Chain A
């Protein structure tokens, strides 16, 4: 039943839209396939093993992280998504030991960071780049000098610094801003400087702590594009945490969902979108589809059906829904008219999903028949009210 090979699966995660052209029937990859794809993208770069983090507020212990296990393959982009306070920030800060886990192991590129001395840790951190929500650029240094900082720390010669910084300025696309101070840059430009700075010491891993959360949607997309570019060009492993499913959707190959300090679900982005197992996952997927009923329309909505009124129905398409032209089919089959009020369909990792609000205009029998049909096709429906 699996009609594509593993190479395609890997490629697909880089180019989600490439697959739209070939009509691949998507089924849940077996565990074996999932393991294979790890092997193809290389050995693991980051391993988080049985990590717990307990904070104390007075005498009260707060379990910020409970038994976290993650394996992130070399060269992949891995997303951790969670609401604020879920522990995702603590998790990413544990990866470079800005926050020391209470117990457990953090293995980056084969080295267990938790066993290192302070000095060794400092040197190891130079191979782990990090960018932040609020950029954390030095206001006293120009763009050029900010990017040069990690090289200065490592004692690189002036000429070598100049060469390296120049090439990074070009890579992130801010060469013309080299002598500007951060205060005079836009959010997107600041994050580009921060990315260049993080890349200066040729890290193997880039940690992104809510790196796009302070940016507007268009800028977010341009930063994600840049991250994808450096991931490919430099074969950099990227771990990012975010509260926006759109970020995960846009860039990640794999995702873990964190809630209350526990990882509740993890897997390939396509799988999670297709078959969310937990409510939390479903919630995040739904959050990428913003569907609301306009206020004046809401006022016309009635709870019960009267003569000449029609139901407003919410249709939810998930990975489980049958991939077929369902809407035109029910219109033809059950002789009803469908007026779409609002619709948001998306395509991620080979899975179509989305929400739709539509008025079903027809006899009550026809409407109930079509709802039954939709149920058979694994489209979830809900009658929100009736409009005249």
Chain B
């Protein structure tokens, strides 16, 4: 496929282009909204997983074990199955199980345990001496979390955000196949089912660029906040 072919195709297929722009918007909406809600729940869950473990800041082994189990269950269900299993819940929450808004529900549910584990890992990286120093200077547990743990783990957390958003881009393509829209959906319907390899190629290129952008932005931010 030469550059000429692309430009020719581009000028001749304005309707398809509109479709692609719309679907890019849908993908971005799914990824960003699911990511945002995912972090609102996932980060506290990750903190809770970290501080409740044995010898943690607020040790609570029973809570840790049960949270860990829930998270593991969430992580072990293949996303494509989660999509289907959650349909009644989605319908209850959004009123429908089809469309971008409906796709956000399973995406969020899938992202929360993923984020929680990544955040837990980022918190694990903090040298235990820092928490100890904070305790020695009379910090209350919530102060240790907000003033020591989260700021110190910020580079790791931003990294977790980046990984999650990239993963959500992939998941959103799957969500698309069950009526969520987005670039993945276009790729499957036009590229695969109609044997239009150009559309397939364009969606893939857009997805590649999107992932690159997310990763570069994440790396840039990590570099800015990382003073280790």
Which residues of A approach B to under 8 Å, CB–CB? Answer: 96, 98, 119, 122-126, 128-130, 132, 134, 136, 138-141, 149-150, 152-154, 181-183, 197-198, 201, 207
The 8 nearest A-B residue pairs measured at CB: A126-B138, A136-B133, A181-B227, A125-B138, A130-B136, A136-B129, A140-B151, A150-B137
Most buried by A among B135, B137, B225: B137
Name the one of B140, B143, B151, B225 contacting A138, with C-beta atoms under 8 angstroms. Answer: B151
Assess whether A198 is in contact with B137, with CB atoms less than 8 Å apart.
yes
Binary contact readout B217-228 vs A (1 if CB under 8 angstroms, 0 otherwise): 000000001011
Tell me the complex Cα distance, A122–B135, Å.
7
Assess whether B137 is in contact with A138, with CB atoms less than 8 Å apart.
no
Shortest C-beta distance, B23 to chain A (Å), equals 39
A-B interface pairs (CB < 8 A), number: 69
Which B residues, 98 to 137, have Cβ-Cβ distances below 8 Å to chain A?
127, 129-130, 132-137
Residues of A within 8 Å of B152, CB to CB, are: 138-140
Assess whether A153 is in contact with B228, with CB atoms less than 8 Å apart.
no
Assess whether A139 is in contact with B227, with CB atoms less than 8 Å apart.
yes
Residues of A within 8 Å of B134, CB to CB, are: 149, 153
Tell me the complex Cα distance, A139–B137, Å.
17
Residues of B within 8 Å of A98, CB to CB, are: 132, 135-136
Name the one of A119, A153, A182, A183 contacting B137, with C-beta atoms under 8 angstroms. Answer: A153
B36 at interface by CB-CB < 8 Å: no
Shortest C-beta distance, A189 to chain B (Å), equals 15
Which residues of B approach A to under 8 Å, CB–CB? Answer: 127, 129-130, 132-140, 143, 147-148, 151-152, 154, 225, 227-228
Residues of B within 8 Å of A182, CB to CB, are: 227
Most buried by A among B135, B138, B152, B228: B138
Shortest C-beta distance, A255 to chain B (Å), equals 23
Shortest C-beta distance, B34 to chain A (Å), equals 28
Assess whether B136 is in contact with A134, with CB atoms less than 8 Å apart.
no
Supplied contacts A183-B227, A207-B136, 9 more A-B pairs, CB within 8 Å = A98-B132, A119-B140, A123-B138, A130-B136, A150-B137, A153-B137, A153-B140, A181-B227, A201-B138
Interface class of chain B by DSSP: helix
Tell me the complex Cα distance, A184–B134, Å.
21
Assess whether B228 is in contact with A139, with CB atoms less than 8 Å apart.
yes
Residues of A within 8 Å of B138, CB to CB, are: 122-126, 150, 153-154, 201
Residues of B within 8 Å of A129, CB to CB, are: 136-137
Nearest chain B residue, comparing its CB with the CB of A146: B133
Nearest chain A residue, comparing its CB with the CB of B151: A140
Assess whether A152 is in contact with B228, with CB atoms less than 8 Å apart.
no
Name the one of A123, A141, A201 contacting B151, with C-beta atoms under 8 angstroms. Answer: A141
Tell me the complex Cα distance, A128–B135, Å.
11
Assess whether B143 is in contact with A136, with CB atoms less than 8 Å apart.
no
Residues of A within 8 Å of B130, CB to CB, are: 136, 138
Name the one of A125, A138, A197, A207 contacting B148, with C-beta atoms under 8 angstroms. Answer: A138
Assess whether B147 is in contact with A134, with CB atoms less than 8 Å apart.
no
Shortest C-beta distance, A113 to chain B (Å), equals 12
Cross-chain pairs A/B with CB under 8 angstroms, 11 sampled? A98-B132, A122-B138, A126-B138, A128-B136, A129-B136, A130-B137, A136-B129, A138-B148, A139-B228, A183-B228, A198-B137
Nearest chain A residue, comparing its CB with the CB of B130: A136
Tell me the complex Cα distance, A123–B151, Å.
23
Nearest chain A residue, comparing its CB with the CB of B128: A136
Residues of A within 8 Å of B228, CB to CB, are: 139, 183
Most buried by A among B134, B139, B140: B139
Most buried by B among A140, A149, A197, A198: A140
Tell me the complex Cα distance, A379–B137, Å.
49
User: Given A132-B129, A134-B127, A136-B129, are A153 and B147 neighbors across the interface (CB < 8 Å)?
Assistant: yes
Name the one of B127, B143, B154, B225 contacting A153, with C-beta atoms under 8 angstroms. Answer: B143
Residues of B within 8 Å of A96, CB to CB, are: 136
Assess whether A122 is in contact with B140, with CB atoms less than 8 Å apart.
yes
Shortest C-beta distance, A153 to chain B (Å), equals 5
Nearest chain B residue, comparing its CB with the CB of A133: B129
Residues of B within 8 Å of A128, CB to CB, are: 136
Residues of B within 8 Å of A198, CB to CB, are: 137
Assess whether A201 is in contact with B147, with CB atoms less than 8 Å apart.
no
Assess whether A140 is in contact with B136, with CB atoms less than 8 Å apart.
no
Nearest chain B residue, comparing its CB with the CB of A131: B133
User: Given A128-B136, A153-B138, are A140 and B129 neighbors across the interface (CB < 8 Å)?
Assistant: no
Residues of A within 8 Å of B227, CB to CB, are: 139-140, 181-183
Tell me the complex Cα distance, A123–B135, Å.
10
Residues of B within 8 Å of A153, CB to CB, are: 134, 137-140, 143, 147
Residues of A within 8 Å of B133, CB to CB, are: 130, 132, 136
Nearest chain B residue, comparing its CB with the CB of A182: B227
Residues of A within 8 Å of B132, CB to CB, are: 98, 132, 136
Residues of A within 8 Å of B129, CB to CB, are: 132, 134, 136
Residues of A within 8 Å of B139, CB to CB, are: 122, 153
Tell me the complex Cα distance, A149–B139, Å.
9
Assess whether A125 is in contact with B147, with CB atoms less than 8 Å apart.
no
Residues of B within 8 Å of A197, CB to CB, are: 137
Assess whether A149 is in contact with B147, with CB atoms less than 8 Å apart.
yes
Residues of A within 8 Å of B136, CB to CB, are: 96, 98, 125, 128-130, 207
Shortest C-beta distance, A145 to chain B (Å), equals 10
Shortest C-beta distance, B226 to chain A (Å), equals 8
